[in-house]
């Protein structure tokens, strides 16, 4: 196929209107599906993800996808959101700004999507709808409808001028669909429908005929069976109008056809002379270990026949030879023991034996078991947050049979140190006679095994290293530019002391186990924002660059941590609102000071511009910190902004001219506001820690 393959994934889980409940699964749906569709070993889709956008943005992306297409292009659109039906019977897809009482102007009509599909020149269009019809759900269960929705009626067939199109829905209108049990720590996982879709494509299990390709019809059959198995109350439905098959992905489940054994070897295996048949067993065993898999499978089939039908002596020899090619997975069981919630432990399954014994595929019994094929076997990892014991299995299937690897363990909370209770006072001991014995050497205590450490992301260490480098460089510069302490303060060297302390604090947070995931990256990112403003002597550019590199590496570490995802939301509490108000006050003070400098002398216009630049960055950074999620990252980000703002205000004060025309009132207002911002951030952090 010469055309392009493009996919548009639309995921809306957050809604401004309180009447629309937030959905946990769309964000995970988008991430998981985008990852598998963008994998060039599986598919060749150019993936675009639209998350928590307004209706007009979603409609624009949908129209662009269908309008900018050629006849040979394959287009795939996936909706994961609330589906709402108006009083007149029209179906709408909810966006972030959707108001249920104003669907026509604030949601995406299904009829609009249908018109875009009809206008497209593409002859291969696939629409996947994993929507919550009705828009309400209780804990752990999302109601997919409240009445008759008749989703497929919104996308009637015909009128496509010979073009092919397919619509697959997650469930019928009167059914329920589960999103999993309540998950803590803002963790989310894909819905049942999208989870089955991702698993079928990633593992290749959707390739029912094992021809190496996953066709659309095979994918639907797999989705139907898999979803019904996980949730009997949910039934996917489809409406497909296509000429021929549409192949969406490649599969590793390509069936290997056995190569017939040579005629003389076949005759020897059936010869009346038992010694001739024994010689055939030896040759068949040699062929079984061949790197040519069709040859090995052909030999295995003949050995199986001899083991089942020949006399005992020959059958035992054939069975012994056949075992040479059996599937052998080591270890036979994986015991993770106690796993701290939020960690992602991994284990390795190794395959032994000749090539035919290693030509296997792996299937997990549960969605929380992730299997990744590697050179000599597979790597398994856990994606569990529910407390308690877990048990699953990995089925290893090959041409010569299968093996099962059991996986078990228990998810526990991170242990907290318990205070040692003071001993209760008891009655005074009775006097006893003491018998003095010669000293006995104490037995040597064996060292207890150290507790397993959580693997630290290398970008976390690099970020801390850059922050330390910036601090050391600032110390060297500050004390080499001044010959004594008096010059140090007169030359403004004192202004970099707060920045040195903040850089060292950020580095320490990146290395500490309890703060390196969110607190350290948040504080470094907030601090580095102010470092992007050009100010001071050129020698400080190296320290600024180190802080910016530290923030970039910290963000990379956050992105690689799959236990949480950064996002934006409404202001968290009154502390967030107070932080924004204080940033406005600081901005006003810096603007006043910029005006005084410009009025004092036109040559000071550059300094006034820096004041204005600092005020804008400080305000925008504070607003961003108030909206960031998770809350811990946002509070740490505000702490870095407050610290960086304090440093900038101190540096700018050093350059103020000593003149009665420049009162410095604006500078005083700005300094007081940023110090208050630091105090508010500290209170917010203290309150957050108290609730943890």
Give every CB contact of residue 414 below 8 A, 6+ residues apart in sequence. Answer: 340, 341, 342
| Tally of residues, the chain | 692
Q: Which residue has the higher pLDDT, 585 or 255?
A: 585
0.75 surpassed by pTM: no
Instruction: Please report the pLDDT score of residue 139 as a whole number.
Output: 31
Instruction: Please report the pLDDT score of residue 185 as a whole number.
Output: 35
Instruction: Please report the pLDDT score of residue 692 as a whole number.
Output: 45
C-alpha pair distances (Å), 535 with each of 199, 363, 545, 619: 52, 58, 13, 18
Q: Which residue has the higher pLDDT, 604 or 525?
A: 525
Instruction: Please report the pLDDT score of residue 96 as a whole number.
Output: 92
Query: In whole angstroms, what is the distance from residue 185 CA to residue 177 CA?
Result: 22
In this predicted structure, which of 148-157, 346-355, 627-636 has the lowest mean pLDDT?
A: 148-157
Instruction: Please report the pLDDT score of residue 141 as a whole number.
Output: 33
Q: Is the pLDDT of residue 643 over 90?
A: no
Q: Which residue has the higher pLDDT, 421 or 538?
A: 421
Phi, psi dihedrals of residue 471, rounded to the nearest 5°: -65, -45
Query: For residue 535, what pLDDT band results from cuts at 50, 70 and 90?
Result: low
Instruction: Please report the pLDDT score of residue 172 as a whole number.
Output: 61
105-160 pLDDT tens trace: 999 999 999 999 988 999 899 999 988 764 332 233 333 334 455 666 667 665 54
Please check whether residue 507 is in contact with residue 471, taking contact to mean a CB–CB distance below 8 angstroms: yes
9-36 pLDDT tens trace: 999 989 998 888 888 778 888 888 998 8
| Radius of gyration of the chain measured on its C-alpha atoms | 33
Q: Which two tokens stand for residue 517?
A: 């995931």
Q: Which residue has the higher pLDDT, 21 or 289?
A: 289
Please check whether residue 404 is in contact with residue 365, taking contact to mean a CB–CB distance below 8 angstroms: no
Over pLDDT 70: what percentage of the chain?
78
380-431 pLDDT tens trace: 888 777 788 888 999 988 888 889 999 998 888 876 666 666 566 656 655 5
Handedness of CA 11, 14, 20, 22 (dihedral sign): positive
Give every CB contact of residue 65 below 8 A, 6+ residues apart in sequence. Answer: 6, 8, 48, 75, 77, 116
298-317 pLDDT tens trace: 999 999 999 999 999 899 99
Q: Which two tokens stand for residue 72?
A: 């040979």
Q: Which two tokens stand for residue 285?
A: 């065993």
Please check whether residue 151 is in contact with residue 91, taking contact to mean a CB–CB distance below 8 angstroms: yes
In this predicted structure, which of 110-124, 342-356, 554-568 has the lowest mean pLDDT?
A: 554-568
User: What do you get for the CA distance between the two ends of the chain, in Å?
Assistant: 55
Mapping DSSP to helix (H, G, I), strand (E, B) and coil, where does residue 385 land? Answer: coil
Query: In whole angstroms, what is the distance from residue 234 CA to residue 289 CA?
Result: 46
Q: Which of 619, 678, 679 is nearest to 646 (CA)?
A: 678
* CB-based contacts of 312-319 (< 8 A; 24+ apart in sequence): 313/274, 314/274, 314/277, 314/278, 314/281, 317/278, 317/281, 318/281, 318/284
Please check whether residue 23 is in contact with residue 187, taking contact to mean a CB–CB distance below 8 angstroms: no
Instruction: Please report the pLDDT score of residue 534 as a whole number.
Output: 62
Q: Which of 284, 246, 290 is nearest to 264 (CA)?
A: 284
Instruction: Provide the 8-state DSSP code for 191.
Output: -
Phi, psi dihedrals of residue 290, rounded to the nearest 5°: -70, 150
Please check whether residue 14 is in contact with residue 96, taking contact to mean a CB–CB distance below 8 angstroms: yes
54-113 pLDDT tens trace: 999 999 999 999 998 888 899 999 999 888 888 787 889 999 999 988 888 999 999 999
Q: What is the DSSP string of 576-634?
A: HHHHHHHHHHHHHHHHHHHHHHHHH-GGGHHHHHHHHHHHHHHHHHHHHHHHEESHHHH
Instruction: Please report the pLDDT score of residue 666 as a whole number.
Output: 80
Burial class (CB within 10 angstroms; exposed 0-12, middle 13-18, buried 19+) of 477 = middle
Please check whether residue 205 is in contact with residue 211, taking contact to mean a CB–CB distance below 8 angstroms: no
Burial class (CB within 10 angstroms; exposed 0-12, middle 13-18, buried 19+) of 303 = buried
Average pLDDT over residues 656-665: 66
CA 460-462-466 angle, to 5 degrees, is 120
Query: In whole angstroms, what is the distance from residue 204 CA to residue 200 CA?
Result: 6
Please check whether residue 127 is in contact with residue 167, taking contact to mean a CB–CB distance below 8 angstroms: yes
Query: For residue 659, what pLDDT band results from cuts at 50, 70 and 90?
Result: low
Give every CB contact of residue 450 below 8 A, 6+ residues apart in sequence. Answer: none
Burial class (CB within 10 angstroms; exposed 0-12, middle 13-18, buried 19+) of 669 = buried
Pairing of strands 567-568, 628-629: antiparallel
Instruction: Please report the pLDDT score of residue 178 as a whole number.
Output: 39
Average pLDDT over residues 322-326: 89
Q: Which two tokens stand for residue 545?
A: 């660059």
Burial class (CB within 10 angstroms; exposed 0-12, middle 13-18, buried 19+) of 296 = buried
Over pLDDT 90: what percentage of the chain?
16
Instruction: Provide the 8-state DSSP code for 246.
Output: -
Instruction: Please report the pLDDT score of residue 174 as a whole number.
Output: 39
**What is the chain's mean pLDDT, rounded?**
79
Please check whether residue 637 is in contact with residue 525, taking contact to mean a CB–CB distance below 8 angstroms: yes
Please check whether residue 106 is in contact with residue 38, taking contact to mean a CB–CB distance below 8 angstroms: no
CB-facing half-sphere around the CA of 286: CA atoms within 13 A? 7
Give every CB contact of residue 200 below 8 A, 6+ residues apart in sequence. Answer: 206, 214, 219, 222, 223, 226
Query: In whole angstroms, what is the distance from residue 154 CA to residue 135 CA?
Result: 18
Please check whether residue 500 is in contact with residue 467, taking contact to mean a CB–CB distance below 8 angstroms: no
Q: Which of 202, 207, 208 is nearest to 190 (CA)?
A: 202
Query: For residue 473, what pLDDT band results from cuts at 50, 70 and 90?
Result: confident
Phi, psi dihedrals of residue 442, rounded to the nearest 5°: -70, 140
* Helix/strand/coil (H/E/C) assignment for every residue in 416-445: CCCCCCCCCCCCCCCCCCCCCCCCCCCCCC
Residue tagged 């290749």 (tokens)? 204
Instruction: Provide the 8-state DSSP code for 495.
Output: G
* Helix/strand/coil (H/E/C) assignment for every residue in 40-58: CCCCCCEEEEEECCCHHHH
C-alpha pair distances (Å), 383 with each of 76, 226, 332: 27, 19, 21
Please check whether residue 677 is in contact with residue 576, taking contact to mean a CB–CB distance below 8 angstroms: no
Q: Which two tokens stand for residue 240?
A: 């497909």
Phi, psi dihedrals of residue 113, rounded to the nearest 5°: -60, -40
Mapping DSSP to helix (H, G, I), strand (E, B) and coil, where does residue 185 land? Answer: coil
Please check whether residue 380 is in contact with residue 407, taking contact to mean a CB–CB distance below 8 angstroms: yes
Q: Which two tokens stand for residue 28?
A: 């995970």
Q: Which residue has the higher pLDDT, 562 or 632?
A: 632
CB-facing half-sphere around the CA of 338: CA atoms within 13 A? 8
CB-facing half-sphere around the CA of 620: CA atoms within 13 A? 8
């Amino acid at each position: 196929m010469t055309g392009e393959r493009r996919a548009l994934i639309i995921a809306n889980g957050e809604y401004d209107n309180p009447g629309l409940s937030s959905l946990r699964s769309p964000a995970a749906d988008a991430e998981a599906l985008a990852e598998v569709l963008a994998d060039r070993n599986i598919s060749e889709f150019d993936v675009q993800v639209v998350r928590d956008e307004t209706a007009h943005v979603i409609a624009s992306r949908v129209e662009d996808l269908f309008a900018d297409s050629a006849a040979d292009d394959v287009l795939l659109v996936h909706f994961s959101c609330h589906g709402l039906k108006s009083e007149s019977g029209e179906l709408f897809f909810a966006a972030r700004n959707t108001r249920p009482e104003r669907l026509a102007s604030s949601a995406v009509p299904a009829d609009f999507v249908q018109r875009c599909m009809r206008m497209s020149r593409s002859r291969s269009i696939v629409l996947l709808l994993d929507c919550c019809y009705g828009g309400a759900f209780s804990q752990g269960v999302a109601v997919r409808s409240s009445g008759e929705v008749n989703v497929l009626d919104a996308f009637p067939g015909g009128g496509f001028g010979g073009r092919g199109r397919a619509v697959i829905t997650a469930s019928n209108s009167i059914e329920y669909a589960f999103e999993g049990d309540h998950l803590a720590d803002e963790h989310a996982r894909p819905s049942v429908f999208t989870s089955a879709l991702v698993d079928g494509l990633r593992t290749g299990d959707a390739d029912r005929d094992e021809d190496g390709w996953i066709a659309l019809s095979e994918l639907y059959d797999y989705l139907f069976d898999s979803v019904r198995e996980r949730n009997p109350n949910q039934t996917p439905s489809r409406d497909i109008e296509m000429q021929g098959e549409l192949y969406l992905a490649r599969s590793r489940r390509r069936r290997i056809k056995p190569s017939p054994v040579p005629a003389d070897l076949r005759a020897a295996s059936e010869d009346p002379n038992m010694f001739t048949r024994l010689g055939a067993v030896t040759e068949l065993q040699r062929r079984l270990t061949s790197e040519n898999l069709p040859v090995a499978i052909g030999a295995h089939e003949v050995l199986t026949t001899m083991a089942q039908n020949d006399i005992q002596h020959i059958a035992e020899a054939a069975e012994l030879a056949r075992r040479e090619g059996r599937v052998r997975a080591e270890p036979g069981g994986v015991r993770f023991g106690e796993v701290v919630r939020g960690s992602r432990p991994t284990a390795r399954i190794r395959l032994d034996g000749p090539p035919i014994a290693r030509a296997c595929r792996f299937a997990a019994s549960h969605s929380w078991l992730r299997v990744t094929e590697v050179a000599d076997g597979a790597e398994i990892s856990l994606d569990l947050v529910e407390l308690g014991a877990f048990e699953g299995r990995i089925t290893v299937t090959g041409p010569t049979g299968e093996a099962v690897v059991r996986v078990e363990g228990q998810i526990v909370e991170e242990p907290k140190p318990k205070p040692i209770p003071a001993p209760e006072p008891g009655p005074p001991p009775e006097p006893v006679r003491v018998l003095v014995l010669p000293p006995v050497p104490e037995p040597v205590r064996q060292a207890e095994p150290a507790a397993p450490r959580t693997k630290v992301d290398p970008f976390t260490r690099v970020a801390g290293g850059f922050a330390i480098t910036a601090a050391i460089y600032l110390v060297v510069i500050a004390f080499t530019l001044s010959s004594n302490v008096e010059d140090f303060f007169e030359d403004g060297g004192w202004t970099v002391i707060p920045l040195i302390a903040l850089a060292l604090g950020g580095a320490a947070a990146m290395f500490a186990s309890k703060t390196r995931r969110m607190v350290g990256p948040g504080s470094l990112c907030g601090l580095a924002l102010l470092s992007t403003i050009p100010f001071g002597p050129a020698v400080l550019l190296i320290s600024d660059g180190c802080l910016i590199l530290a923030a970039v590496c910290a963000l990379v570490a956050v992105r690689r941590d799959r236990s949480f995802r950064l996002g934006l939301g409404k202001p968290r509490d009154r502390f967030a609102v107070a932080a924004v108000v204080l940033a406005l006050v600081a901005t006003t003070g810096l603007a006043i000071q910029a005006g005084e400098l410009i009025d004092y002398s036109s040559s000071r216009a550059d300094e006034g511009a820096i004041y204005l630049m600092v005020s804008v960055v400080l305000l925008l950074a504070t607003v961003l910190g108030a909206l960031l999620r998770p809350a811990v990252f946002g509070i740490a980000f505000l702490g870095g902004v407050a610290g960086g703002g304090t440093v900038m205000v101190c540096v700018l004060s050093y350059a103020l001219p000593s003149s009665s025309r420049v009162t410095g009132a604006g500078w005083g207002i700005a300094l007081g506001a940023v110090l208050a911002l630091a105090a508010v951030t500290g209170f917010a952090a203290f309150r957050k820690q108290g609730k943890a």
